[in-house]
C-alpha cells in the first residue's frame, strides 16, 4: 500500500503544490518564501519521517498570512488524502518535546473530526519575518484539513524559537505514531463506527 498524495491549490492569494509520502524517510524540499516557515516544515518532515515536497508562491508583498494558512490547508489535505480510509492506523499519538528550557506536549487523534486546542503564548511579535500569531493559524489550518483533533500545550519555556519549534516537532512525533500501521489490525478501521471520515 502506497500512502502518497499530490495536491495543488491556486487562488488569487497563493499558488501551492505539495506531495507527501507518509511512509517516507523524512526527506523534504520546501520553499514558501518564508524562511522560518520553511525551517518548521523541514522539522515536521524530518521528525515524522513523512517526505514533503511543497512549493508556495503567495502575496508576501502584503504579509505572510495567506501563504502560512494556505500551506497548512494544502498539507493537511494531502495528509488526509494519503491516509485514505485510515485503515490499520494507530490513530492516536502524543509527544513531550524538550528543547533546552522549553517543554511542549502535543496529542493527536486522526479521527476525521477536526479540532484544535492551542495553549501557546509568545513574548515576541515576530520570529524571523513571521508574525507570531500566524503559527496558530497554520496549526488550525492543518488540523481542520487533515481531519485531526490536535491539542498543543507549551508547558513552559522562555525562548520563542524553542517554543514554536517544539510545537512542530511535537506534531511530527505524534503524527508519526498516529499514522503508523498497527501490525495486528492492518486492514481495520480503528473505530467502532467503522469510519474515520468525520
Topology (CATH level 3) of domain 4-179: Ribosomal Protein S5; domain 2 (3.30.230)
In Å, how far are 49, 104, 127, 154, 168 from 159, measured between CA atoms? 26, 12, 11, 12, 15
Each domain of the chain, given as residue ranges in start order, spans 4-179
pLDDT on residue 190? 60
pLDDT on residue 141? 98
Mean pLDDT, contiguous 10-residue spans, the chain (198 residues): 92 96 97 96 98 96 93 97 90 97 97 95 91 97 97 98 98 97 74 59
**pTM score of the predicted model:** 0.94
pLDDT on residue 187? 74
Amino acid at each position: 500500500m502506497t500512502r502518497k498524495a499530490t495536491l495543488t491549490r491556486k487562488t488569487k492569494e497563493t499558488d501551492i503544490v505539495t506531495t507527501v509520502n507518509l511512509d517516507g524517510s523524512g526527506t523534504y524540499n520546501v520553499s514558501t518564501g518564508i524562511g522560518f516557515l520553511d525551517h518548521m516544515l523541514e522539522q515536521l518532515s524530518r521528525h515524522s519521517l513523512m517526505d514533503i515536497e511543497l512549493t508556495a508562491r503567495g502575496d508576501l508583498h502584503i504579509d505572510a498570512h495567506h501563504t502560512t494558512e494556505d500551506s497548512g490547508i494544502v498539507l493537511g489535505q494531502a495528509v488526509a488524502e494519503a491516509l485514505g480510509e485510515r485503515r490499520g492506523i494507530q490513530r492516536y499519538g502524543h509527544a513531550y518535546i524538550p528543547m533546552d528550557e522549553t517543554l511542549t506536549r502535543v496529542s493527536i487523534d486522526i479521527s476525521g473530526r477536526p479540532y484544535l486546542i492551542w495553549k501557546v503564548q509568545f513574548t515576541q511579535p515576530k520570529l524571523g519575518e513571521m508574525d507570531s500569531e500566524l503559527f496558530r493559524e497554520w496549526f488550525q489550518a492543518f488540523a481542520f484539513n487533515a481531519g485531526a483533533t490536535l491539542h498543543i500545550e507549551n508547558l513552559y519555556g522562555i525562548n520563542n524559537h524553542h517554543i514554536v519549534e517544539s510545537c512542530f516537532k511535537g506534531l511530527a512525533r505524534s503524527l508519526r505514531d498516529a499514522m503508523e500501521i498497527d501490525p495486528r489490525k492492518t486492514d481495520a478501521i480503528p473505530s467502532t463506527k467503522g469510519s474515520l471520515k468525520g
